[in-house]
Structure 1
Amino acid sequence: MGRVTTAPQTRPAPVGFAEALRFWLQLGFISFGGPAGQIAIMHTELVERRRWISEQRFLHALNYCMLLPGPEAQQLATYLGWLLHRTWGGIVAGALFVLPSLFILVGLSWVYLRFGHLPVVAGLFYGLKPAVTALVLHAAHRIGTRALRNRWMWALAAASFLALFAFDTPFPAIVLAAGLIGHFGARRWPQVFTLGGGQGSAKASYGPALIDDDTPTPAHARFSRRRLAQVLGIGLGLWLAALGLLTIQYGWQGALTQMGWFFTKAALLTFGGAYAVLPYVYQGAVEQYQWLSGGQMVDGLALGETTPGPLIMVVAFVGFVGGWGQQVLGPEALFLGGALAAAVVTFFTFLPSFVFILAGGPLVEATHGRLGFTAPLSAITAAVVGVILNLALFFAWHVFWPQGFAGRFDLGACAIALATGVALFRFKLGVLPLLAGCAGAGLLLSSLPGLR
């Protein structure tokens, strides 16, 4: 929906909890297009059309979410829901942003494992895998154009690529090193690590908003040490209780317990979006724990690209495949075991996001100036570009040489990847029509083996 030409002069009526719940549920089913598309939908609906919040307050909340590890669009929904309807408003908004994607991915993961060997399903994935390779490369370019603003940032990206590609450095070590470089480097060369532009500034008025620029901070959004301690205590308590129950039931080395522990760490490392943390998920889920194969990881990312919700929800696919393969509930309950593992992984991945918003929101509302301490994030984002480029090469290796370098080079997959790259970089084609076309091309090529 475009910008309005004549701004209304009256403030909208207060929003009831039931009305907000309906909107958050609808958003959960239509939030395609990655974080940029999801944030654009929320801006159109909440700032322009419904005027629940002013653009300045919307951007202020978004800038905070951009500084956090985790999916910024889901965190923004949680923040806005909390601002409108207190703690339960934030929990409902954040949960409904994720749950539709979880249920859809559980169903698609079951179809993948149960029927993935069928020619039709295999043909669809044959076209989706090279498309994912191009999408990851495009993500590296998109983040790079924003993050690599000088030769020092380029050097940081190159160093992170070499650390991962040549030395197999763990992803957390790369994040920590980049953060330290940003923290100490900014003291000596602040201009190098200045975060550029943020998300822009408000450029238009859409009329008075329910929560406007000059609206006093609601009572529940005012900072207090007591409330901060409560939120942190409850968040830590929920995490300890969930991990403790899994340990009691399955032991510390049990698959579900290890999933909870591993994806807690992953949730705290998702600076730069889902593509940034995927190398870490690959290192753990594929190489260390062997919950799934490298090829299955590529397939899972393809499924994640086709569903609503944050792309990091690909972890639900990882959990489902791992729970199915590990038979966490026994060989007679493979689907239930996979669904339970997907739910466990989702819980531990998103719990920190809720804590960050509910604990940090009052601190953000206390100031409407620019947030400080961005230098570590700036350095981490630059390093993430190299990490994502390494991921693109990893996917290309699995897709173009499915039997390894000693095997045959797949010309059909390469052609689909090149066409996808042209569609993304030259024609800016949307993800969903792009994936649909690639799936159709894969189905065609797989039915004509002579062309592959």
Structure 2
Amino acid sequence: MIHALPVTIQDWRRLSDVTEISPGATPLKVRNALQHIEFAQIFRVFGRIGLLSFGGPAAQISMMHDELVVRHKWLTEQKFLGALSFCMLLPGPEAMQLATYAGWRLRGVPGGLMAGLLFVLPGAAVILALAMGYAYYGQLPLVQALFLGVKAAVVVIVLQALLNLSRRALVGVQSWVLAALGFAAMFFLSVPFPLIIGAAALWGYLASRGQVAAPSVTTPVPLGTTLRTATLWGALWAAPIIIAWAFGATFLADLALFFSKLALVTFGGAYAVLAYMTDTVVSTKGWLSTAQMIDALGLAETTPGPLILVTEFVGLLAGFAQGGPGLAVVAGIMTLWVTFTPCFLWIFTGAPYIERLLERPRLKGALAGISAAVVGVIANLSVWFALHVLFGTVRETRFGPLPEIASFDPLSFIMVGLAGGLLLWLHLSMVRVLGLMVVFAGALHGLI
């Protein structure tokens, strides 16, 4: 019987996904199967995913499905979809967390670390190079002209993200109401993003009160194991913040605290928190300008890995402005640490509970509420970006941003229309559209 084997029930479930094992398998067969997936194989597969993961979470998840379910058959369809649902419940980049979970199922914590880091590090290296180049040369007239094409593409890319999410998240009158309230609260009233997320989750949770959870068929995980895992990764998350504070590095501590808070509320992807991040980074902290934030998103779109790597770009530019290239690198590393260490915390602590969590309808209701509100938040971001790209002057008023009509830029309008045709009509890839828009902007600069 299964409980007589010298492996845990979690090992048995992990095993069932990577190899064919009958319920009557002997302990020797079980141990041999657990060693079936070599770290070298994991490195090759997730290294390839990390290097080629362009195009946002939908493309990244599709690539992982092809590699892990179809090609290598390391995960079953059911386990893959269940893990994806769990990762969507969590704050942070769901594609990176899905990669971490897949690695964890294959070879435990070392496999999860390898898969998660390989998904992030290639893009992080590209962001480092782009940010340092931008810091030195971003203000040159030619570079500024090229970024007109990037900004025009970003307006349409955010609009496309809004359309894609709305098709999945807005499935009834209640979800449309939540989306409208989310937009109004952020655009007109400047309600903080974490408060919008909390209210939407509570609404969805309460709306699901009448539903009954299915009987659990999973085996509980020892509480002590869960607490040890959470404590370890929580300490790793907090360690650089405490060190920076202890050594009087006020800027680094402030940077780490802000992006740690951001990591707790990043539901719905980077687009959902970008307006909140921009408001804090530009208006409250004064680390970057609005134009630099738009440029940061555009460059982050061109790199592999999760879009939330835009936080690294922000950290690098903020550090460069505060103390030059040395501080920029330290600030970039600090931002990466506090952005992605929580992802490992959520996965390694919560992965053994996936089946139990997905059986709870109220949790699903809370997630549905968050998803609907995030549509409104991204709509706010879409309008905000469009205003700042199409108008030279946008004033912040008591009831949201208000552009000066006289500052309307016809050239930007034409560029946004061109980007819209390439992305929404011709359906070219995001990276190709960004490249073409840079070429068009450069050509216009040469003619003008």
* Interval of TM-score (by shorter of Structure 1 and Structure 2): 0.7 to 0.9
Post-superposition CA distance 1:107-157 (Å, at most 9, x none): 101111111123432222110101101111111111111111122211211
Aligned to 1:351: 341
| Pair 1:338 & 2:328 matched | yes
**CA–CA distance in structure 2, aligned partners of residues 240 and 321 of structure 1:** 23
Taking the TM superposition and a 5 Å limit, the aligned residue runs for 1:147-296 are 147-187=169-209, 223-251=221-249, 254-296=250-292
**TM-score (norm: length of structure 1):** 0.85
Shift of residue 229 of structure 1?
0.9
Q: What code does the residue aligned with 1:312 have?
A: I
Q: What code does the residue aligned with 1:168 have?
A: S
Shift of residue 240 of structure 1?
2.7
**CA–CA distance in structure 1, aligned partners of residues 280 and 152 of structure 2:** 23
| Pair 1:17 & 2:29 matched | no
**CA–CA distance in structure 1, aligned partners of residues 339 and 154 of structure 2:** 22
- In 2, are the aligned partners of 1:77 and 1:93 still within 8 Å (CA)? yes
Aligned to 1:398: 388
Q: What code does the residue aligned with 1:186 have?
A: S
Shift of residue 371 of structure 1?
6.9
**CA–CA distance in structure 2, aligned partners of residues 234 and 127 of structure 1:** 45
Aligned to 2:420: 421
Post-superposition CA distance 1:381-430 (Å, at most 9, x none): 11111111111111112211134444532212111212222333333221
The partner residue of 1:138 within 146, 157, 160 is: 160
- In 2, are the aligned partners of 1:223 and 1:366 still within 8 Å (CA)? no
| Pair 1:128 & 2:128 matched | no
Aligned to 1:83: 105
Post-superposition CA distance 1:195-243 (Å, at most 9, x none): xxxxxxxxxxxxxxxxxxxxxx9xxx98222221111110121123221
Aligned to 2:117: 95
**CA–CA distance in structure 2, aligned partners of residues 177 and 64 of structure 1:** 21
Shift of residue 10 of structure 1?
8.1
Q: What code does the residue aligned with 2:270 have?
A: A
Give aligned pairs, total.
404
Q: What code does the residue aligned with 2:67 have?
A: E
Identify, as 1 or 2, the structure richer in helix. 2
Shift of residue 366 of structure 1?
6.3
Unaligned runs of 5+ in 1: 1-8, 192-216, 328-333
Aligned to 1:446: 445
Aligned to 1:31: 53
| Pair 1:301 & 2:297 matched | yes
Aligned to 1:43: 65
Unaligned runs of 5+ in 2: 1-18, 22-32, 213-217, 395-402
Q: 1:368 to 1:284 in 2, by over 3 A?
A: closer
Identity %: 40
CA RMSD of aligned residues (A): 2.3
Q: Secondary structure at the match of 1:20?
A: helix
**CA–CA distance in structure 2, aligned partners of residues 383 and 70 of structure 1:** 16
**CA–CA distance in structure 2, aligned partners of residues 57 and 380 of structure 1:** 24
**CA–CA distance in structure 2, aligned partners of residues 386 and 19 of structure 1:** 42
- In 2, are the aligned partners of 1:412 and 1:445 still within 8 Å (CA)? no
Q: 1:227 to 1:151 in 2, by over 3 A?
A: same
**TM-score (norm: length of structure 2):** 0.85
Higher mean C-alpha deviation, range 409-418 or range 67-76 = 409-418
Q: Secondary structure at the match of 1:374?
A: helix
| Pair 1:317 & 2:313 matched | yes
Aligned to 2:353: 363
**CA–CA distance in structure 1, aligned partners of residues 276 and 358 of structure 2:** 35
- In 1, are the aligned partners of 2:358 and 2:364 still within 8 Å (CA)? no
- In 2, are the aligned partners of 1:126 and 1:446 still within 8 Å (CA)? no
- In 2, are the aligned partners of 1:222 and 1:365 still within 8 Å (CA)? no
Post-superposition CA distance 1:61-103 (Å, at most 9, x none): 1111111111110000000101111111111111111111111
**CA–CA distance in structure 2, aligned partners of residues 312 and 234 of structure 1:** 24
**CA–CA distance in structure 2, aligned partners of residues 10 and 236 of structure 1:** 36
Aligned to 2:400: none
Q: What code does the residue aligned with 2:383 have?
A: L
